[in-house]
């Protein structure tokens, strides 16, 4: 009979001999792409394409109704990145790499339950981080997903010592942490931290190590996301516990409690969508979802918007709108027709839920809304007023001055997060948004703005491409109109 393994060093040797480093290698490469400010479609595609099974699952999930509501055909990784977005594809790749890598070695109830709970926690934590620590959201996601990687790796092994521990932990009244330490000579937490360090995941190791102390917003997201998954693992029927979670989410994010509840729903729905679409029915069955009465995706001003009623992109309308703007550059039309074609094309064609053109006003001392499109935007026509203070520039000033379109809320633009001032957030709210300068030649007209705030669905690279095209063509039309008047 084999001698039982005891102590952190010996368990590290055992687990690192079990093909886990190969899985960790793929995760590391995806993390390097995540951390790179110059990350490209080619880099992400190259990492995913090395594993045929991983590629197949990423494409299957990308074609699902949740991530691809307009059902565009996606047959390549590069196309998936364009349609559903760089960060979404990377998140899916990280998730599948870990879940499949561990399930390949085991399928016991302890492993499956922990995988489902950890994956749910990681999506909840990522959703929270989008509100309070956007530049850290990918690290928050992977740290939450990997915080129990030592225990996951342990339960993925096939060994009589592991079976014996499972039997002892199933006995009523057991002190779980003490039992694990007595039997293994180490703790699951130390095992997780040891594996992360041996895999050179230094930033993830640091975040996992510090989150119990709750010193930073990112660490608080990891902690609360974990506790949300632990509570909801028992279902959504415990209204008292659910109300406590809702209050904690509201306190952390600064959102009203009704919107805080929507964040909880969104995290659960996204986790379930990934698992179902990947064909991982075992884990999907272990993930509790909100009841049918909790299907709305977002709440804006008390108005609930359901998935089937949410605005969907219309590629044909988008194409005709762009074509129309090209014709307007050569035809005798007025400014109002150009602006209508611009905002309606982005809203009804590209599926951007809230669109606004903010023009320079009051001798260029402020931005005011000139045209809007989409639900819950009418108030901007009278209420949107963003002063320009030379000593304190904001993101609208930056976009106009740099003449560069931006997608705020993702890693590539995180260096500009400080320019999203409190006054800016008061005008447009929290979350991802697109900005582009509207220029008639060298003349600064204003800034084009768009977001998906009504439902909280993610922006996509396809929408950003269309957004830039509309802004460029509208500027060319305004320049042509000005030239004809002279």
- Tens-place pLDDT, residues 36-47: 555 677 888 888
Q: Is residue 83 part of a domain?
A: yes
The neighbouring-strand residues paired with 373 are 355
Quick: pLDDT tens for 14-23.
887 766 666 6
In Å, how far from its chain's centre is CA 275? 16
**What is the total count of domains within the chain?**
2
Do the Cβ atoms of 151 and 247 come closer than 8 Å?
no
C-alpha to C-alpha distances, 439 to 352, 357, 374, 403, nearest whole angstrom: 21, 12, 23, 8
Q: Is residue 295 part of a domain?
A: no
Reply yes or no on whether the pLDDT at 105 is more than 70: no
All residues at 6 or more sequence positions from 391 whose CB lies less than 8 Å from its CB, including other chains: none
Does 319 lie in the same domain as 249? no
Does 322 lie in the same domain as 441? yes
Q: Is residue 339 part of a domain?
A: yes
Residue 359: per-residue pLDDT? 94
Instruction: Report the pLDDT averaged over residues 413-423.
Output: 90
- Residue 329, both tokens: 């550059």
Does 252 lie in the same domain as 154? yes
Instruction: Report the pLDDT averaged over residues 281-288.
Output: 71
Q: Is residue 74 part of a domain?
A: yes
Query: Band of the pLDDT at 333, cuts 50, 70, 90?
Result: low
138-161 burial, b at 16+ Cβ within 10 Å, e below that, comes to bbbbbbbbbbbbbbbbbbbbeeeb
CATH number, domain containing residue 88: 1.10.3210.10
First to last CA, the chain: 95
Do the Cβ atoms of 373 and 336 come closer than 8 Å?
no
Quick: pLDDT tens for 353-382.
999 999 999 899 999 999 999 888 888 988
Its domain, for residue 200, covers: 8-290
Instruction: Report the pLDDT averaged over residues 268-272.
Output: 85
Instruction: Report the pLDDT averaged over residues 432-444.
Output: 93
Average pLDDT value over all residues in the chain: 82
In Å, how far from its chain's centre is CA 289? 19
Ranking 38-47, 81-90, 257-266 by mean pLDDT, the lowest is 38-47
Tokens 């989409």: give the residue: 374
Residue 304: per-residue pLDDT? 35
Q: Is residue 44 part of a domain?
A: yes
Residue 305: per-residue pLDDT? 38
Q: Is residue 303 part of a domain?
A: no
Q: Is residue 308 part of a domain?
A: no
Does 99 lie in the same domain as 241? yes
Rounded distance between C-alpha atoms, residue 325 and residue 305, angstroms: 31
Does 460 lie in the same domain as 422? yes
All residues at 6 or more sequence positions from 333 whose CB lies less than 8 Å from its CB, including other chains: 477, 481
182-215 burial, b at 16+ Cβ within 10 Å, e below that, comes to ebbbbbbbbbbbbbbeebebeebbbbbbebeeee
Instruction: Report the pLDDT averaged over residues 108-119.
Output: 82
Does 334 lie in the same domain as 210? no
Q: Is residue 128 part of a domain?
A: yes
C-alpha to C-alpha distances, 240 to 118, 246, 292, 389, 458, nearest whole angstrom: 23, 10, 19, 47, 30
Q: What percent of the chain has pLDDT over 90?
A: 23
Does 103 lie in the same domain as 16? yes
Does 378 lie in the same domain as 275? no
Does 274 lie in the same domain as 343? no
Do the Cβ atoms of 358 and 339 come closer than 8 Å?
no
C-alpha to C-alpha distances, 1 to 46, 161, 163, 166, nearest whole angstrom: 45, 11, 15, 19
Rounded distance between C-alpha atoms, residue 43 and residue 46, angstroms: 5
C-alpha to C-alpha distances, 360 to 443, 446, 462, nearest whole angstrom: 11, 5, 28
Does 368 lie in the same domain as 416? yes
Residue 279: per-residue pLDDT? 65
C-alpha to C-alpha distances, 67 to 35, 81, 115, 294, 383, nearest whole angstrom: 23, 11, 22, 19, 33
Ranking 80-84, 266-270, 286-290 by mean pLDDT, the lowest is 286-290
CB atoms within 10 A of CB 402: 11
Query: Band of the pLDDT at 170, cuts 50, 70, 90?
Result: confident
Phi, psi of 386 (to 5 degrees): -115, 100
Query: Band of the pLDDT at 213, cuts 50, 70, 90?
Result: low
Q: What percent of the chain has pLDDT over 70?
A: 88
Residue 450: per-residue pLDDT? 96
Does 352 lie in the same domain as 246? no
Reply yes or no on whether the pLDDT at 318 is more than 70: yes
Does 356 lie in the same domain as 259? no
CATH number, domain containing residue 370: 3.30.450.40
Query: Band of the pLDDT at 281, cuts 50, 70, 90?
Result: low
């Amino acid at each position: 009979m084999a001698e039982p393994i005891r102590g952190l060093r010996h368990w590290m040797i055992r687990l690192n001999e079990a093909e886990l480093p190969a899985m960790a290698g793929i995760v590391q490469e995806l993390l390097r792409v995540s951390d790179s400010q110059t990350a490209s479609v080619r880099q992400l595609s190259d990492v995913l394409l090395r594993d045929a099974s991983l590629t197949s699952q990423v494409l299957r999930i990308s074609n699902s109704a949740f991530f691809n509501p307009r059902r565009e055909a996606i047959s390549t990784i590069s196309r998936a990145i364009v349609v559903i977005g760089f960060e979404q594809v990377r998140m899916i790749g990280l998730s599948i790499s870990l879940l499949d890598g561990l399930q390949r070695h085991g399928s016991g109830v302890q492993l499956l339950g922990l995988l489902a709970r950890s994956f749910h926690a990681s999506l909840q934590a990522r959703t929270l981080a989008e509100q309070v620590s956007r530049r850290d959201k990918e690290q928050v996601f992977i740290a939450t997903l990997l915080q129990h990687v030592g225990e996951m790796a342990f339960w993925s092994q096939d060994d009589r010592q592991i079976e014996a521990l499972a039997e002892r932990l199933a006995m009523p009244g057991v002190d779980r942490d003490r039992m694990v330490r007595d039997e293994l000579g180490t703790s699951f937490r130390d095992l997780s931290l040891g594996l992360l360090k041996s895999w050179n995941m230094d930033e993830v190791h640091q975040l996992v190590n510090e989150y119990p102390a709750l010193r930073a917003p990112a660490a608080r997201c990891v902690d609360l996301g974990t506790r949300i998954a632990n509570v909801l693992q028992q279902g959504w029927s415990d209204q008292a516990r659910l109300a406590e979670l809702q209050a904690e989410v509201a306190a952390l994010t600064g959102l009203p409690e009704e919107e805080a509840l929507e964040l909880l729903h969104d995290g659960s729905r996204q986790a379930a969508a990934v698992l179902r679409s990947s064909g991982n029915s075992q884990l999907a069955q272990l993930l509790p979802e909100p009841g049918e009465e909790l299907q709305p995706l977002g709440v804006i001003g008390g108005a609930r918007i359901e998935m089937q009623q949410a605005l969907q992109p219309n590629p044909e309308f988008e194409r005709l709108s762009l074509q129309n703007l090209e014709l307007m550059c050569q035809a005798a039309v007025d400014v109002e027709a150009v602006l209508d074609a611009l905002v309606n094309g982005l809203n009804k064609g590209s599926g951007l839920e809230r669109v606004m053109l903010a023009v320079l006003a009051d001798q260029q001392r402020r931005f005011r809304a000139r045209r809007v499109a989409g639900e819950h935007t009418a108030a901007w026509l009278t209420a949107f007023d963003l002063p320009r203070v030379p000593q304190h520039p904001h993101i609208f000033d930056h976009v106009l001055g740099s003449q560069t379109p931006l997608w705020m809320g993702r890693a590539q633009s995180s260096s500009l997060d400080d320019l999203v001032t409190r006054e800016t957030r008061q005008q447009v709210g929290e979350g991802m948004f697109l900005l582009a300068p509207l220029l008639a030649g060298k003349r600064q007209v204003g800034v084009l703005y768009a977001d998906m705030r009504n439902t909280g669905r993610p922006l996509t690279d396809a929408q950003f491409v269309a957004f830039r095209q509309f802004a460029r063509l509208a500027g060319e039309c305004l320049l042509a109109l000005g030239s004809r008047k002279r």
